C-alpha cells in the first residue's frame, strides 16, 4: 500500500527537513518526493501558489512548511496538550522564522556593499539579541524550547538553524551551549540518527 503521506520538495533539506524529521521520529511512513531544479519550471504551476514543500494526504495538497510541520507534530505527540501550550510552541517557532527571514535577506542581497553591512548587523546586533534570549528560554525549559519537554519547536531549531551557519559562514551558536545541545539532542534520537545516516546527501 502506498504511504498515506507524500511530502514534495526539492532535493535538499531546506524547508522540508523539519517535517521529514517529525515523520521519521513518529514512524509515519511517507513518500519523500524530491523534484529536480531543472524540472521545476514546467511543473511549478500545478502546485498551490507555485510553492514547495507541499504535503499530500487523502487526495488533498497543502503548501506552507510551518503549517505542515505543525500538523504532523500533532499526529506524533510533539505538540502541546492544550491550546495555550500550542501557542507557546507556535510563538517560538514564529520567532525562529523572524530570524531566518533576516538571514534569507542577507542571502538574497545582490549588492556586495549592502551584503557586508547586513552581515555586520547580523553579527553585532541580530544574532546576540535573538540567541541570548533563545539560550535563556532553553535554560528555563530544562533543555528544550518550550513546555520543558521535547516538542516540534526543538525539531524546527535542529533542522533550520544549521542553515544560519551555512549561509552566513559564522558558527552562530559557538557561545550558546544550550542551543547547541538542543540540536545534538534531536539529532541523537535513534530514529533521527538513522535518518541522518540514510538521507540523500545534499548541499543544503
Per CB under 8 A, residues contacting a second copy are 48-50, 55, 57-58, 60, 62-64, 66-68, 70-71, 74-75, 83-84, 86-88, 90-91, 93-95, 98, 101, 129-130, 133
| For a second copy, the closer CB: 55 or 119 | 55
| For a second copy, the closer CB: 82 or 197 | 82
| For a second copy, the closer CB: 73 or 119 | 73
| For a second copy, the closer CB: 74 or 185 | 74
Min dist. Cβ of residue 96 to a second copy (A): 11
CA distance 145 to 142: 8
Continuous H helices in 27-176: 40-43, 65-75, 83-108, 112-121, 127-140, 152-168
Which distant-in-sequence residues (6+ apart) come within 8 Å of 56 by Cβ? 5, 6, 7, 8
How many of the other CB atoms lie within 10 Å of CB of 192?
20
Min dist. Cβ of residue 11 to a second copy (A): 23
Amino acid at each position: 500500500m502506498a504511504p498515506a503521506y507524500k511530502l514534495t520538495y526539492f532535493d535538499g533539506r531546506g524547508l522540508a527537513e523539519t517535517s521529514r524529521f517529525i515523520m521519521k521520529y513518529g514512524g509515519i511512513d511517507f513518500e519523500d518526493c524530491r523534484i529536480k531544479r531543472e524540472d521545476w519550471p514546467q511543473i511549478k504551476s500545478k502546485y498551490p501558489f507555485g510553492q514547495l514543500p507541499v504535503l499530500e494526504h487523502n487526495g488533498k495538497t497543502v503548501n506552507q512548511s510551518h503549517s505542515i510541520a505543525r500538523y504532523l507534530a500533532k499526529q506524533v505527540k510533539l505538540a502541546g496538550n492544550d491550546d495555550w501550550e500550542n501557542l507557546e510552541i507556535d510563538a517560538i517557532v514564529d520567532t525562529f522564522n523572524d530570524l531566518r527571514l533576516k538571514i534569507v535577506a542577507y542571502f538574497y542581497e545582490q549588492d556586495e556593499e549592502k551584503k557586508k553591512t547586513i552581515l555586520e548587523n547580523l553579527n553585532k546586533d541580530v544574532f546576540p539579541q535573538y540567541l541570548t534570549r533563545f539560550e535563556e528560554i532553553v535554560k528555563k525549559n530544562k533543555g528544550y524550547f518550550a513546555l520543558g519537554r521535547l516538542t516540534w519547536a526543538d525539531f524546527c531549531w535542529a533542522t533550520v538553524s544549521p542553515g544560519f551557519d551555512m549561509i552566513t559562514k559564522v558558527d552562530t551558536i559557538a557561545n550558546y551551549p544550550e542551543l547547541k545541545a538542543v540540536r545534538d539532542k534531536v539529532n541523537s534520537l535513534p530514529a533521527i540518527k538513522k535518518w541522518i545516516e540514510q538521507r540523500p546527501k545534499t548541499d543544503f
